[in-house]
Structure 1
Amino acid sequence: MTTPSAFIFPGQGSQKVGMLADAYAAFTAVRDTFEEASTALGYDLWDLVQNGEQEALNMTATTQPVLLTSSVALWRAWLEQGGAQPAVMAGHSLGEFSALVCAQSLGFADAVQLVRQRGEFMQTAVPVGEGAMAAIIGLDDAAIVATCAEVVASGAGEVAAVNFNSPGQVVIAGHTAAVDAAIAALKEAGAKRAMPLPVSAPFHTSLMKPAGERLAQAMAGLSIAAPTIPVIHNVHAEAEQDPERIRELLVQQIYSPVQWTACVASIVSRGITEMVECGPGKVLSGLNRRIDKSLNSHSLEDPEALQATKLALTGQK
């Protein structure tokens, strides 16, 4: 018997030069997936991951296909090694696309090209320097939402809570001046920390609506199927089966807050406590600990971690 699990897929911020080298050496599925992505993109993605500059890897239009490919590669390695299908999936922002590929809702070659475009659309929606993001630690969600509304009302520009990552950890984004004003106001309101993030665009805000319109056009002819495994969506923390509804949610997601805390709560409500982070890094595992201490987090990042996860889910810890 295998314990029911949820597979969760990371978004931007989990990438680093040299990642997945051991998995690439060990698993045919990882090598084949990167080769497939390179063919779709027209450049050697694996060479970039291993030998490129971190700055190049952090460019949004590069980061998105890199992380999607990494997650799909580890998912395929998991299946190649006889890993069991999870009961449910979810992904943080970009990770939602990874989840939908692994649930057979989106084709991989289509998705890797689509997320490269998504990255370009997001990066160019707001001129560099005019948008910003910041992490707010140690203040409740309602206080952050209210403070952002006050800053907007003051005429400083647009700013809103955009990533509800865990209780006490929320990301805000908007016009640079408005984010700066919100940081000052939130510190005054009692935030333990309020830190600007090293990104150049205000993701998941209303300022991303032009990117959403372009993404809708890019997805117009894209084939989407009903997922074979339920995927919890960022916009409303629910699973959907209707392909056209999934198409709408992927567009809305680009300018809507990421409801990650609610997504994890939705998974927990299904009686699941085993969470497998299917991608590089352990960002989501860290958030899990803050959201619900009953959750057990697992990784597939390297061969040893994958084997340990298999054993844990079959009760052979």
Structure 2
Amino acid sequence: MRFGPVPPAEARGAILAHSMALPGRHLPKGSRLGPAEITALREAGIAEVTVARLDPGDVVEDAAAARLANALVPDPEPAALRIGRAARGRVNLHAVCAGVVGLDLAAVQAVNRVDPGITLATLAPLGRVLPGMLVGTVKILPYAVPGAALEAACATGRGALRVHPVRRRSAGLILSEVPGQKPALTGKGRSAVETRLSALGITLEAVRVVPHEARAMAAALEEVEIEVPLVPVVANVRACGETDPATIRTLLVDQVTGAVRWRESVAWMAGQGVSEIWEIGAGKALSGMVKRIAREVATRQVGTPDEVTAAVDGMNAAA
């Protein structure tokens, strides 16, 4: 793309680089200069105008942005994204449902290295989104980009962005109460969980309040479906990892009255090669306990939004 000043007589078919206010008319930047525009410039006494001219193979900004957006999201429906209309070299990508952002971080970074005029901005990986939220933006900075660079960006970023939707539409909650517990405490716990679920479009359908004793908890858990977890669940009453749903159900009951084997649980994880333990939520109490038990295991607090983003970035960099 060639960029520079020319007389109006030589500007026909070029792209106006800057907005111009003429008597009785405004020419916005990015306008294609045709006969009417050239006449208006001459009548206004404009001797020189800055324009951009495309080289062979260049792709104009809106067409380029649309092509890259469609490469990033080749099939919008399963990707749970809506591709917006191209305007001024920009295409926005919006979530169509609640979920978390899924992206190929290496591909996104590679797209941004292809050409200075081709840019892609996204939310952080695993960031929570709601319907309509902006997930990513494609922006072509100049008025056109070389076709070869655009093709390279499309190939590099193909299918790199999506939203992982919430699969479950409803959830249940079991709350236990000790004798003499204030009713307001139970209500507060229910409200906190319900708020978190609602933000993801999940309805809290069933709530069971049971005495804090093993038999009542076992009866309540019999009505709950427990799926095979993606990673082992370390139960602190047995101090080892479990993946069998029936065993996990039993261990949940045992935790009502069983002793907490925290020291043994940390030692088991260290023995399995765990090199870092993250404390999710406010505070550092558990991290301090871990360091006293297994000094060789690193700890990390993940509580604030910035800490969550940094943790996700770290996981992606290590993957």
The normalised TM-score by structure 1 is: 0.38
The normalised TM-score by structure 2 is: 0.37
**Bigger radius of gyration, 1 or 2?**
2
Of structures 1 and 2, the one scoring higher in RCO (CA 8 A, sep 6+) is 1
Q: Which has the larger share of helix?
A: 1
